């Protein structure tokens, strides 16, 4: 588990694999524990939003496959939670950190 912390809001917990993916999308290294200064938060937030939009576009293109190709195979599979949905708590924390001009740490 990786916990993101800031004085701007509540802690946000992620499974390690998801947290590392989000850190990479923010342009950060995957060293845990680590932190970013308040000045780095706006850029990290922008990068994360852009990367999530790209990922959502790729997933939408993939979902446009003809229905008959996937209909029978995927009926019993649970629908995975998209990364952009999982990222919402972190995005909110980054917004709050940006507004409060404070940094973010993760451990």
83 — pLDDT class (breaks 50, 70, 90):
very high
Predicted local confidence at residue 69, as pLDDT: 55
Q: How many residues does the chain have?
A: 107
66 — pLDDT class (breaks 50, 70, 90):
low
78 — pLDDT class (breaks 50, 70, 90):
confident
- The rounded distance, in Å, linking the Cα atoms of 41 and 103 is 7
- The rounded distance, in Å, linking the Cα atoms of 99 and 17 is 28
């Amino acid at each position: 588990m990786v916990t993101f912390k800031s004085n701007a809001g509540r802690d946000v917990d992620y499974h390690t694999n998801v947290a590392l993916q989000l850190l990479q999308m923010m342009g950060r290294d995957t060293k845990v524990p680590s932190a970013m200064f308040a000045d780095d938060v706006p850029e990290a937030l922008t990068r994360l939003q852009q990367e999530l939009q790209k990922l959502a576009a790729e997933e939408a293109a993939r979902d446009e496959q003809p229905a008959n190709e996937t209909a029978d195979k995927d009926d019993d599979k649970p629908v995975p939670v998209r990364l952009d949905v999982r990222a919402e708590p972190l995005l909110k924390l980054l917004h709050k950190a940006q507004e409060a001009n404070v940094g973010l740490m993760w451990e």
